[in-house]
Amino acid sequence: MSEAEQVPASAPEAAAVLDALNATDSNGTEALNATAKFVATPEGTALAYGSLVFMALLPIFFGALRSVRCSKSKNSADMPETITSRDAARFPIIASCTLFGLYLFFKVTQCSPWRSPLMSRIFPDSFPNKQYQLLFTQGSGESKEEIVNYEFDTKNLVCLVISSVVGVWYLLKKHWIANNLFGLAFALNGVELLHLNNVSTGCILLGGLFVYDVFWVFGTNVMVTVAKSFEAPIKLVFPQDLLEKGLEASNFAMLGLGDIVIPGIFIALLLRFDVSLKKNSRTYFYSSFLAYIFGLGLTIFVMHTFKHAQPALLYLVPACVGFPVIVALFNGELTEMFR
């Protein structure tokens, strides 16, 4: 797909994910090699972009809902990582270093699409679920020291087998469906487990990455170069030639996970703010969620109009911050929102 028609350039996800965008040319086509280019049909382009927007909304919506439950959990294993104002201020600097060469370390067992809390609802009540414990110790007697003490059950083992199959499938074939399964899982976990401590911190984080994204897309070609040379499930992809080639299609529109996770953790924060108000409404969550749809749609529109790659956060940040602030001003809750 083309630079003019690529899905927006991404900011990094909060777990140090690289910005990843598809590299393209000016004719709405992706350069497959020096001589052959694929011209996307309007139907294929619409299907690809629509699918990417839909896939982006899934982890934000469900991750935000799960972040509320996660914030109330008393289980230490489910406790979220809290991003402070200092973390938010340093994040663009860390992301810039990451863009220049730090590679990803994916925790497959923690970011599997089939995490046990989700899959446990699928297993029938009659499923024989046994408990196990994996224990490694060092030494003996009073000097014995625990090295590993992990408890799991049969459902965990089933989930591990399923996720391992997908992992091997991706490693061997690099298929776009396997890529998306991992990408959606990473994004869902990011939105669920990375918590901003207040709206001010969210504004600092989004503001810093707003400048970061604009600079690396308009000021240099580093982001496109990294995207072309770095192959990992750090982005969602969807083929524009799916209608012509089916599941073996290879001309992809792409959306970096940073464009999902970074706005997503801010939207999840606003949902928790709605819950804290105890008004049985989700005004700020829905306003920011709709703002995200508007911002992503505007990014795609501008790309097609000016035939040039666009940094998604240039449009997502003002929308996701501005819409809820306007709603708070209208409701007289702006001070409470930033408290």
Query: pLDDT tens for residues 51-71?
Result: 999 999 999 999 999 999 887
Q: For residues 125 and 130, what is the distance between their CA atoms, to the nearest angstrom? A: 13
DSSP structure class, residue 78: G
Which residue range(s) make up the domain with 191? 42-74+81-88+155-338
Residue 191 in any domain: the answer is yes
* 259 classed as catalytic: yes
For residue 1, tell me if it sits in a domain. no
Annotated catalytic residue within 19, 241, 259, 274: 259
Write out the E strands in 141-197: 145-153, 194-196
Q: When comparing pLDDT for 71 and 198, which is higher?
A: 198
Q: Is 213 a catalytic residue?
A: yes
* Residue 292 pLDDT greater than 70, yes or no: yes
Average pLDDT over residues 1-13: 43
CA dihedral 116, 120, 124, 130 (to 10 degrees): 60
Query: Would you call 8 exposed, middle or buried from its count of C-beta atoms within 10 A (0-12, 13-18, 19+)?
Result: buried
The predicted pLDDT at position 124 comes to 72
Helix (H) or strand (E) holding 256: strand 252-256
Name the DSSP class of 40.
P
Winning range, highest mean pLDDT, from 68-77, 82-91, 276-285, 300-309 = 276-285
DSSP 8-state symbol, 315: H
Both tokens of 230, joined, read 């770095």
DSSP, res 218: I
**CA neighbor of 228 nearest in space, from 25, 43, 41:** 25
Q: Confirm whether 93 is domain-assigned.
A: no
Domain assignment present for 5: no
Indicate the number of domains in the chain.
1
Asked whether residue 100 is assigned to any structural domain, the reply reads no
Q: Averaging pLDDT over each range in 67-81, 83-97, 159-173, 215-229, which range is the top one?
A: 159-173
**280: in domain:** yes
Cα distances (angstroms) measured from residue 43 to each of 5, 39, 176: 14, 12, 19
Give start and end residues of each alpha helix (H) in 174-282.
176-193, 199-214, 222-229, 242-245, 258-277
Name the phi and psi angles at 135, rounded to 5.
-130, 125
* List 19, 213, 241, 274, catalytic entry: 213
Higher-pLDDT residue of 175, 23 = 175
- Residue 322: pLDDT above 90? yes
d(CA 104, CA 309): 24
Residue 283 inside a domain? The answer is: yes
> Do 331 and 314 contact (CB within 8 A), yes or no?
no
The verdict on residue 19 lying in a domain is no
DSSP 62: H
